[in-house]
Amino acid sequence: MSPAILINLLFPIVTGLILWIMKPAEGSLVSYDFLLWFGVGAVLQILASISLMTRNHTRWVIGWTLLWIASASYMASYAPAHLQDGLIEGKWNEVKAPEPQFPKGMEVSDKEQADLVVRKSKWKKDRAAADLWFRDQYKITSTAESYDSLAQRDLAKAAYLLYVLAFAFLSSFFSISWFAGRGRLHEYDVKGGSEEDPLAVNLMGRDPADA
Amino acid sequence: MTFVLPILGVLQADPGADTATSSFLEQLGTFLSDAAGWSWGLPFILMLGSVGLFYTVRLGLPQFRNFKHAIGIGAGRYDEDGDPGEVTHFQALSAALSATVGVGNIAGVATAIAMGGPGAAIWMAIFGFFGMMTKFASCTLAIRYRVYDEGGAILGGPMESIRRGLGPRFHWLAGAFAICALIASFGGGNMVQANQMANAFTHEFADSFPSGMSEDISFLGLDTNWLRVTLGIVVAAIVGLVIIGGIKRIGHVAGILVPVMALFYVGGAGTIIALHASEVPAMLSEMFRLAFLGGQEQVAGGAVGYTVVGALTWGARRAVFSNEAGLGSAPIAHAAARTKEPIREGLVAMLEPFIDTIVICMMTALVILLTDAHVYFHDKEGAVLTREAFRLGLESAPWLGAVVVSIGLVLFAISTAISWSYYGDRCASFLFGAWAVKPYRAIYVGVIFLGANLNAKTVWNFSDVANAAMAFWHIVALLALTPVVIALYRDYFSRPQIPTKQLEEAKRREGGDA
């Protein structure tokens, strides 16, 4: 068994275990929407590595195709996690945004002063809306700052989840390239791969008419 | 036109408009924004970064070891008259640099800092460093696998590297890349440039024109103003006149424009940094801390990963937009270089992310951070934030700071649009044959006009999605062809590399002795 096949076999299992231990969505604003596509990707990647254990043309075609679908599934699992993270992050940024102000001692025109008034009004509205959103999500009715640690915990959970899903994708994506390499194509007796010697004389060395 | 104009109306309209279409527009805007965020998320960014890291490790840090040699090649010390190709190493570098040094260096850096914090600038530089190797590999392959098209012009780049390097089984991959690159050529290299230039220009100079010029009008179904319409037409005409001449004229114009615009902008930024020189070490240390450890309040709350992800993704996203490493665009320009040594062009290409991201982008970042513009104008991003930073930086003459950014943007945008047209026309030639080049160029010039009059966010997001799509196919090939790049690299450095002048002198001496 080659190291590439071993990686394809182990990665989905290890990332699955990490997610199981991490339980990112438990009691947090992060949802489990990513899980279905992650599961599909993991199963397909394992099937691909099993297929690629036998070195022949058909097994290569099946394994390589499965790797493509596994990669796409991992990317699909990343989408809800990313959106969830983006939503929490966006609200958090609005809560934490400092009040707009002009630099000290800077000369400003009437137009710029009017612009600042508009920016401050928007800042107040955004901040109040984000504040309300967090209170509502965490079912908090008392102080505005009491959701601070909860929101930070969820942001951290979302970030770690994104890393795990990203590495799962990388493992399958790099395998696609690895198994498309000239060496592997020879190993699996795949027809239609390049037969050119990398160090052969370049076509450009000749007259354009000959090329 | 029946289909095009309604779509254009959709793309440029304000998503806040209270009409029946507005919910669709909002959905489209949200979709593109989500798609851009998703496609440029961690998986994609780590993928691009790790390819550069892989080549860096595999070839033993050529960024340091071969840097001097790369400069020598770029300066023309190894140019030989009989070498095949259409432009010199320097012209190819200039053409590719004029495409990469664009709005991303002014507006992109500001966006990265506004969204990812000061740490994002460090991640930009890190991705620039590893991007040097991604570009090296892709441009080496572009020379190795280039061919002539039916019209006798050079055709090279990832589509040819995939077609000839991976073999007939992977022709579909080459086609997928070429389609995505063709679409992408209308985004980041075209519409974004025209759009950001028009934004900055109208923002800065609207008061200098008669009031009627900046009043809202409807033109060809587009909600715009006469200033934007005029700018769109002028820039489209300038770009059109240059691109008709093909890569030779592009290379020639870029060879003049790139050094001028780089010196102009770098001079302005350098002056501001020099005025704050004593604060630079502390600022760099703060930037590194934020890049790797996150903000202090987040550390206390245990959300280090979150702030680092923010800095990493925004830094990487804007770095790649700026230096194009991994996208597969620059190899198309480098394929036209006059050389018989693929590694030489790869080494010249390696300089691009260095100049673009490590030097120019970092200078922009330092100007923004040293002047605290990101604090005072935290709700602003893009070219407007950079403009405010330059105004703050040149306190005694704030108008000069604003002018440097605005003129810089115009020059950067025009040069980028010129070079990206070449990328698209090579892909059109690959997909449809040499006949498709002229119609493509005509459409390209028309789209520049539209870009100047469309909604900025939609244009940026479209560009991000299109760039990600072309990079995706390119990376598969870049990794699969690793053995080819390594074989070429080892072969090249196994032979003594002597500058042409020395070689000719040695030959003369030999001739004299005989």
Q: pLDDT-based confidence at A59, cuts 50/70/90? A: very high
* Strands annotated E in A47-155: none
User: With 90 as the cut, is the pLDDT of residue A75 above it?
Assistant: yes
DSSP secondary-structure letter at B356?
Answer: I
Chain B partners within 8 Å of A83 (Cβ): 34, 37-38
| Those residues with Cβ within 8 angstroms of residue B147's Cβ, 6 or more apart along the chain or in another chain | A203, A204, A211, B154, B155, B156, B160, B164
pLDDT score of B85: 79
Nearest CA in chain A to B140: A198
Q: pLDDT (tens digit, 9 = 90+) per residue, A81-131? A: 888 888 888 888 888 888 888 887 777 778 788 888 988 999 899 988 988
Query: For residues B303 and B318, what is the distance between their CA atoms, to the nearest angstrom?
Result: 23
pTM score: 0.86
pLDDT at A144: 55
Say which DSSP state A191 is in. Answer: T
* Chain A nearest CA to B83, separation (Å): 8
Q: Does B50 touch chain A (CB under 8 A)?
A: yes
Quote the CA–CA distance of B233 and B227 in Å, as a whole number. Answer: 10
Tell me how far apart the alpha carbons of residues B37 and B117 are, in angstroms, rounded to a whole number.
17
Contact list in B for residue A78 (CB cut-off 8 A) is: 38, 41-43
Report how far residue B86's alpha carbon sits from residue B84's, in angstroms, rounded to the nearest whole number: 7
Report yes or no: A39 and A53 within 8 Å, Cβ to Cβ. Answer: no
- Please give the structure tokens belonging to residue B145: 């696998």
Cα-based angle B428, B433, B438 (whole degrees, multiple of 5): 60
Is residue A37 very low, low, confident or very high in pLDDT (cuts 50, 70, 90)?
Answer: very high
CB contact under 8 A, A103 and B169: no
With an 8 Å Cβ cutoff, are A180 and B480 in contact?
yes
Of B309, B476, B482, the CB nearest to A159: B309
> ipTM of the predicted structure?
0.85
pLDDT at A211: 43
| Token pair of A176 as six digits | 């696609």
Q: Which two tokens stand for residue B2?
A: 């029946």
Residue in A160, A195, A199 closest to B487 by CB: A199
Mutate to test the interface with A, among B80, B163, B171, B309 (most CBs of A within 10 A): B309
Residues in chain B: 514
Angle at alpha carbon of residue A34, lines to A31 and A39, rounded to 5°: 135
The shortest C-alpha distance from B282 to chain A (Å) reads: 21
- Number of Cβ atoms within 10 Å of the Cβ of B245: 12
**Letter for the amino acid at A38?**
F
Place of tokens 């020099």: B274
Structural tokens at position B16: 């806040």
Residues of chain B found within 8 Å of residue A171, distances taken between Cβ atoms:
none
Instruction: List B87's β-bridge partners, or say none.
Output: B337
Name chain A contacts of B154, Cβ cutoff 8 Å.
204
Tokens of B386: 């950079």
> Considering only CA atoms, which of B358, B457, B454, B461 is closest in space to residue B109?
B358
Chain B, residues 344-373, CB within 8 A of chain A, namely 371-372
Q: Confidence band (pLDDT; 50, 70, 90) for A209?
A: very low
B298 contacts in A (CB within 8 Å)? 152
CB-based contact B378 A100, cutoff 8 Å: yes
Spell out which residues of chain B touch residue A198, defining contact as CB-CB under 8 Å.
Answer: 144, 483-484, 487-488
Q: Retrieve residue A203's tokens.
A: 């076509």
Residue B337 dihedral angles phi and psi, to the nearest 5°: -65, 150
**Residue-level pLDDT, tens digit, chain B, 514 residues:** 333 333 444 444 444 444 555 566 667 778 888 888 888 888 988 899 999 999 999 999 999 999 999 999 988 888 887 788 788 888 888 878 877 877 778 888 988 888 888 889 999 999 999 999 999 999 999 999 998 877 778 888 999 999 989 988 899 999 999 999 999 999 888 898 888 888 877 777 777 777 777 777 777 777 778 888 888 898 899 888 888 777 777 777 777 777 777 788 889 899 999 999 999 999 999 999 888 877 645 444 445 666 777 788 888 878 887 888 999 998 998 898 888 889 999 999 999 999 999 999 999 999 999 999 888 887 777 788 888 899 888 888 888 888 888 888 888 888 888 888 988 988 999 999 889 999 999 999 999 998 888 877 888 888 889 989 999 999 999 999 999 999 999 999 998 888 888 888 887 887 766 5
Min Cα–Cα distance to chain A from B469, Å: 13
Nearest 5°: the CA angle B95, B122, B407 is 45
Highest mean pLDDT among A32-46, A156-170, B75-89: A32-46
Q: Cβ–Cβ of A156/B306 closer than 8 Å? A: yes
